[in-house]
Amino acid sequence: MQSHDPQDARRPLKVRSNPLSKNIAIWLSRKSITPNQISIMSIVFAALSAFGFVMSVLQIEYRVLWMIIAALFIQMRLLCNLFDGMVAIEGGKSTASGELFNDIPDRISDPLIIIAAGYSVLSLDLGLELGGLAAMLAILTAYVRTLAVSMGAPSNFTGPMAKQHRMALLTVSSIAVAIEHYIWQHDYVMWAALLIMILGCIWTLFRRTRMAYQYLEHPPEL
């Protein structure tokens, strides 16, 4: 089995080279905060985002506010995903169990947010069903990636509906729903966003599977 550099296994993000991101990562690495703790916090923020989506239904009079809150905590979850890796690698705090904490919280956070987003749809039917299907496909995209790595292929974060794309779509859609509800009192945007996510995840699954197959059947010369 071919080995790969652990840094190559990280999702490629341009924001890691941003001076502000580097300074925050340095500050965190100097505190008694571990990368694993940051990873676990991502679940907390995902749960808070899901809570915002649910409350947008239960407290319809504050729907605009709850949608904005849900979007905010999606971004907080992503910041945890950014800084756990930076503190681990750049901050020199990586551990043998780090990959467990890097991956398992994502498998919890994704369905929390996506299913709750489906629950928040009021104007059209099948919102919860679309959210459940999108969540399942999101988990499958990660499964294909980790399975391919276990067989010797490199980590593949190809989209068009990788984690950062899914969360960006839901963040923008949440803000759009807040505006949409405030002006027109409906939420067609979130329903459409979940449908786009489903189609994008299916295409992502196909691309990742095909690329893993091609690599494993025709590995590059060492």
User: Taking a C-beta distance cutoff of 8 angstroms, is the pair 160, 203 a contact?
Assistant: yes
pLDDT at 6 over 80: no
C-alpha to C-alpha distance for 165 and 129, rounded to whole angstroms: 21
Q: How far is CA 83 from CA 36, 60, 80, in A?
A: 10, 34, 5
pLDDT at 113: 98
Evaluate whether the domain defined by 19-217 bears CATH number 3.40.1280.10: no
C-alpha to C-alpha distance for 99 and 43, rounded to whole angstroms: 15
Prediction pTM value: 0.90
Domain residue ranges of the chain, discontinuous segments joined by +:
19-217
- Residue-wise pLDDT for 161-179, tens only, equals 999 999 999 999 999 999 9
Structure tokens at 179: 């505006």
The angle subtended at Cα 211 by Cα 207 and Cα 215, nearest 5°, is: 175
The angle subtended at Cα 20 by Cα 73 and Cα 160, nearest 5°, is: 55
Torsion of CA 180, 182, 186, 189, to 10 degrees: 20
pLDDT at 1 over 70: no
Q: What number is the average pLDDT over the span 118-141? A: 96
C-alpha to C-alpha distance for 183 and 204, rounded to whole angstroms: 34
- Residue-wise pLDDT for 183-206, tens only, equals 998 889 999 999 999 999 999 999
Number of helical H runs and strand E runs in the chain: 7, 0
pLDDT at 8 over 60: no
> Residue type at 148?
A
Q: Is 152 helix (H, G, I), strand (E, B) or coil?
A: coil
Give the rounded percent of residues in the chain with a pLDDT score beyond 70.
92
